[in-house]
Amino acid sequence: MARTLVVQLARLGDLIQTIPAITALKMADQTRGLDLLCPSLLTPIGRLIPGVDRVLEWDGTVWHRWAEEASHDLSPAHLEQATKQLEALASHQYETAYVLNHHRRALLAASLLADEVRGSVLDGPLGTTLSPWASYVREVALTGRGSRVHLADAFCGLCGVPPPGRPPVLKQSSPQLPLPLEPIGRRGEPWVGLIVGAGAAERLVPTETWKTWVVRFLEAAPAGRVVLLGEERERGRRIQDLLPSSLLGRVWDVTGRTSLLDLVTILRRCHSVIGSDTGPLHLAAAVGVKVIGWYFARAGVHETGPYGVGHVVWQAEDSNGEGHRERTNVQPVRWPIEETVGLLVQGQQFKIAPRVPGWSVWVSHCDQWGGYYTEVGGRFGPPLEREHLWRALSPSIIDGSAVGAT
Amino acid sequence: MSHGSENLEKLGRRDSALVEAVRSAAGSVLSLTPSREGSVTAKYGDRWVHSSYDPRKEARVWADAQLKEWKDQEIGVVFGVGLLYHVESLALLKPDGRRLAVIVPDVSVLKDALGARPLGPWLETIEWIWGKPADMARHLADLGNPLRFMTYASAASLHEAVHREVEASLRQMVAVRQGGYLRIAVVGPIYGGSLPIARYVTAALESLGHHVIWIDHSVHHTSYERFNSYRDVRHRLTMQGRFAEILSLDTVARLADDPPDLVLAVAQAPLTAGVLDHVRKKKFLTVMWFVENYRHLTYWRQLASGYDYWFVLQQGDCVEALRKAGAAHVHYLPMAANPQAFYPCSLTETERREYGADVSFVGAGYQNRRALLPRWLSPEWTFKLWGNEWEGAADLASVLQRRGSRIDTETCRKVFNATTINLNLHSYNGPSLDPQADFVNPRTFELAACGAFQLTDDRSLLPELFTDQEVVRFRSPDEVPHLIRRWLHDHEARRAVVEAARRRVLAHHTYRHRMEELLAVIGLRQPDRIGAILRGDRNAGALAARAETPPELETLLDRFPRDQRVELKDMADEIRTKGAGRRLAREELLILLLDSYRSETRDLV
């Protein structure tokens, strides 16, 4: 049986965005054996992705150490130990490797492990000729031109398969949590997961703002609970410090104390999860929880909004009113605190989520052309650009038979 | 058969000549006594050579520590004989195939060791290095492999002088065999006397073929000086301190731009302890040449542990003080001359009138000079005083040139050349000669390099640099007038002295010699890193010739000139240049992959 390798060496958010491509590859050929190469730290998540037979752990720290040694004294021994490491990863050569991020390292790793490499670059690991989909993604990143094709679907394009047509959901992990965390999600309702951090400093919501959000939510939802999530323990502690002591029993701070699998279980136990454009937010969407995103700085809802159906994103608009259409560093003047609390507590439907000055509100859908967002209260349906783009960039793989879901 | 006879028999299978030498030796250098755990231990005088409790355990701990550093291909060289417990431990613990040598400065000690206890078959595996220091050095140099020195301090201290001699000879031999070139960042000061030295160091390293990254902070001098205009001295000190911190970070950014093999800072280089710590964590090798009197400038205390290697102008107390302050390696490295800046030159008549005198002194107005120079003025000779910081020296006003302005190197050279007798009085903040006169200043070497005659105050370290036939010394201020009279009109005698001095400088005391010495010291201490580069082990030819090099890598190495140093980065660059568009070999992909991680390892700033 021909075996395929998907290479994703970037961060958690990128790995989650890779799930639709893996699903689509598997759908295109059910007999295909499919493995995933991802950073060691992310392998627990990799193992939950449907369709993945085996997860290969890429240990970057070991390569860093060898590189440090080899930079002082390059010897054949370095190449020998690197070869052994690769052999330990995969005993056989893959027929095809799909490289989903345009990083030279991923291309090189794929070239070492597979006979053929597909994805971002057409002419080998040193090549500069981007594939059509990689050119498109790069252009969006460089020019800031608003895209209506989701990054996860562009990954499908890189793999030469159409989007799966429905949002994939991660497999079940252990429902158990370590004893101190076990009460999370058990008593009270609703439980909201609040992701306190972000991968980039400009995407951090101020702790003062989060504190206000928590206070307002707990005031509005007398039985509600909040779980502070993420790796940034200091930020979690800071938010806790700012809260009135009367609320502390209803706020669980697990920042910096959970494994990735614990995080998955906690996210599953939450009714909703709120945060900026971060890996854990996408993870929440991937486990099937409804997500509310605050997108600002350079985050754009159409490219990297949580993938799936029924997620809501408040997108900060640029001062020129272009909002997400221009890739500028948009920093909000005010935050949609009352509006998101209202959405969660008063049982308002996502489709009538209230508007906030300086922000637009979007809700997610999924159909045969992939994930997309429509503006709440807007008159427009699924954007046509996606179909045009798929026909332009991948004319041979589009048959239009996928069933959409909204 | 006694221990001694059995051991001698084993030794004889390895080195029969040494057995004869042991038989002829007197022995009884060490006094033997039982240790607490029962095995024999030894004292030298009232000092323990091995543990009085458990010499075997102590030796094992020492051997374990050595093994962590000792790499394959390196020959371990042990300083210190004692009762050989440590050598035994190392010989038994070392991986098969590694070679171990022991320096034997005194065969009598070895005789004591052989007679003290039965020794196992490991004795036959040791390479014994004995004889005169120069012969031992030659023996070591001829071993062919990189050497890893291991000092068993309590035993080695018996023969420190011999070990120093062996090392010095070895360094000289290693220096002339240099086959590879380093990338060295030289960090200079913002201003001051060490600035020209930093430039000479740079030039010397370049002349040796090394790639030098000159981090010149003198371009910031004007800005630094502007802080002197503050009325409040606290403001000045604060701003100058902060400015130095910024320049320290500037150094780090430059190191990140072009990562060197080692960072050589010259005294007063603006590198803070925090930055040095950061740089060391990033695995840069740091070296300081402290071309200052350690008693006058004492900031070395804060920086001692910050540099991997210290080179200093003074011996004894200076070396000890730095070690106590946390310096890992301290070595004596005297000043030198740059023959391209200081050389004999013919002067025009106008220049002779301007710069010439019977007696001259060039230098700043330190207290001892203010007190002594007036005593050496006389109607019997003309006298000129050059240099700055002479404000208020009324009794020298008549001889002070250019109103006491600072003079440049070219003027200095002309004064040296135009003067019949140059006085060389080392600086000291006291009323007379420096009572702790040890180091030799740069002027001594520069005058000699110019072929200029000098009278120099006596320094304890001068005799090992110049003989009395090369530099004339005075031991008290009263001697000076007599010496001036003695030499002023004896042209032939002066000529003999200055020619000998110049020959000596050119043969032994240039910055090129100092840099060879400095690199040889580090090379011997870092056989797997700096030493390997200096030996040429990183050159394309040597890498290709390694037995374990696979043919694919050999093909890649063949693209480089054989004597060109090749690092991971160079190979990756070569592959990137010529590899686009073709299918890359596995080795090429691996090199590119490793290089992609290497390029992230210098995220310094």
Cβ neighbours of B586 in A, within 8 Å: 83, 112
CATH number of B349-509: 3.40.50.2000
Domain extents for chain A? 3-129, 179-385
DSSP percent split of chain B into helix, strand, coil, nearest 5: 50, 15, 35
pLDDT value at residue A143: 72
Please give the structure tokens belonging to residue B395.
């009794």
- Element holding A314 (H helix, E strand): strand A312-316
Other beta carbons within 10 Å of A187: 9
| Contact indicator for B440, B465 with CB cutoff of 8 Å | yes
Q: For chains A and B, what is the number of CB pairs under 8 angstroms?
A: 98
> Distance (Å) from the C-alpha of residue A282 to the closest C-alpha of chain B?
28
Instruction: Provide the β-strand partners of residue A251.
Output: A226
Count H helices, E strands: chain B? Answer: 26, 18
- Tally Cβ neighbours within 10 Å of residue B232: 8
Query: Which pLDDT value is given to residue B475?
Result: 96
Is the CB of residue A3 less than 8 Å from the CB of residue A95?
yes
Could you check whether A3-129 and A179-385 share the same CATH topology? yes
- Average pLDDT along chain A: 88
Place of tokens 């489709």: A351
What local confidence, expressed as pLDDT, does residue A146 receive?
Answer: 62
**Rounded (to 5) percent helix, strand, coil in chain A:** 40, 20, 40
Enumerate the residues of chain B whose CB falls inside 8 A of the CB of residue A106. Answer: none
Phi-psi region at A276: left, alpha or beta (left = phi > 0; alpha = psi -120 to 50)? beta
d(C-alpha A362, C-alpha B157), whole Å: 79
CB atoms within 10 A of CB B23: 12
Residues whose CB falls within 8 Å of the CB of residue A79, separated by 6 or more in sequence, listed in order: B550, B553, B587, B590, B591
Question: Which stretches of chain B drop beneath a pLDDT of 50?
Answer: none
- H-type alpha helices, B419-478: 442-450
Q: Which candidate in A9, A37, A66, A74 is best for mutational testing of the B interface (most B CBs within 10 A)?
A: A74
In terms of CA atoms, which chain A residue is nearest residue B586?
Answer: A112
CA–CA separation, A21 and A27 (whole Å): 10
Separation CA A233–CA A132 (nearest Å): 41
Q: Are B386 and B356 in contact (CB under 8 A)?
A: no
Q: Are A68 and B598 inside 8 Å of each other by CB?
A: yes
Structure token digits, residue A58: 């890429």
Residues forming a β-bridge with A356:
A359
- Residue B183 amino acid letter: R
Cα B498 from Cα A338, distance rounded (Å): 91
Looking at domain B3-176, which of 3.10.20, 3.30.565, 2.160.20, 3.90.190 is its CATH number?
A: 3.90.190
Question: Can you name the CATH fold of B183-336?
Answer: Rossmann fold (3.40.50)
Domain ranges of chain B: 3-176, 183-336, 349-509, 538-598
- Identity of the residue in B528, B589, B598 whose CB atom sits nearest the CB atom of A108: B589
Question: Looking at residue A405, what is its pLDDT?
Answer: 33
Give the separation between CA A29 and CA B11, rounded to whole angstroms. Answer: 74
Burial class (CB in 10 A: 0-12, 13-18, 19+), B57: middle
CA neighbours closer than 13 Å in the CB half-sphere of residue A101? 18
pLDDT bucket at A352, cuts 50 / 70 / 90 = low
| Model confidence pLDDT, tens digit, residues A26-83 | 999 998 899 999 999 999 999 999 999 999 999 999 998 899 888 877 888 888 889 9
End-to-end CA distance of chain A: 36
The pair of structure tokens assigned to B414 is 């002309």
Per-residue DSSP letter, B432? S
3-class secondary-structure state, position A86: helix
- Say whether A74 and B568 touch across the interface (CB within 8 A): yes
- DSSP H stretches of helix in B360-490: 367-372, 409-418, 442-450, 479-488
Collect all residues from B whose CB is shorter than 8 A from any CB in A: 283, 528-529, 532, 538, 543, 546, 548-550, 553, 566-569, 571, 575-576, 579-584, 586-587, 589-598, 600-601
Give me the residue label for tokens 């500028």: A328
pLDDT of residue B442: 96
Helix H or strand E segment including B168: helix B160-176
B574 CA: distance to closest CA in chain A (Å): 12
pLDDT band at residue A353 using 50, 70 and 90 as cut-offs:
low
CB B517 within 8 A of CB B528: no
CATH H superfamily, domain A3-129: Glycogen Phosphorylase B; (3.40.50.2000)
Count Cα atoms within 13 angstroms, Cβ side, for B189: 16
Please, where are the H alpha helices in A90-131?
Answer: 104-113
Phi-psi region of B106 (alpha: psi -120 to 50; beta: other; left: phi over 0): beta
pLDDT above 60: residue A184 = yes
- Residue B549's contacts (CB-CB under 8 Å, 6 or more residues apart) are A76, B543, B557
Contact: B594, A125; criterion CB under 8 Å: no
State the pLDDT at residue A113.
96
Contacts of A127 in chain B (CB under 8 A): 580-581
**Contact in structure between B313 and B439 (CB atoms under 8 Å):** yes
Residues of chain A with Cβ-Cβ distance to B532 below 8 Å are 73
**pLDDT tens digits, A221-267:** 999 999 999 999 999 999 999 999 998 889 999 999 999 999 999 99
The string of DSSP letters for A220-252 reads: H-TT-EEEEESS-HHHHHHHHHHS-GGGGGGEE
Residue A404 confidence (pLDDT): 32
Transcribe B480-535 into DSSP letters: HHHHHHHHHT-HHHHHHHHHHHHHHHHHH-BHHHHHHHHHHHHHHH-TTTHHHHHH
Cβ atoms B373, B546 nearer than 8 A: no
Q: What is the ipTM of this complex?
A: 0.88
Helix (H) or strand (E) holding B211: strand B211-215
- The answer to whether the Cβ–Cβ distance between B548 and A76 falls below 8 Å is yes
> Residue B575 corresponds to which tokens in the numbers above?
């592959």
Distance CA A366, CA A372 (A): 6
SS3 A130: strand
- Supply the pLDDT for residue A402: 41
The Cα–Cα gap between B363 and A207 comes to: 63
CB < 8 Å to B566, chain A: 74
For B460, the token pair is 């304890």
Give A108's contacts in chain B (Cβ within 8 Å): 589, 592-593, 596
- Numbered residues of chain A with Cβ closer than 8 Å to any chain B Cβ: 60, 63-64, 66-68, 70-79, 82-83, 104-105, 108-109, 111-112, 123-128
Question: What is the pLDDT averaged over residues A286-310?
Answer: 93
Mean pLDDT, residues A2-21 taken together? 94
Asked if B593 and A109 come within 8 Å (Cβ–Cβ), the reply is: yes
| Bond into A190 cis (ω within 30) | yes
Q: What is the CATH number of domain A179-385?
A: 3.40.50.2000
Residue type, B21: A
B357: phi then psi, degrees, rounded to nearest 5: -170, 165
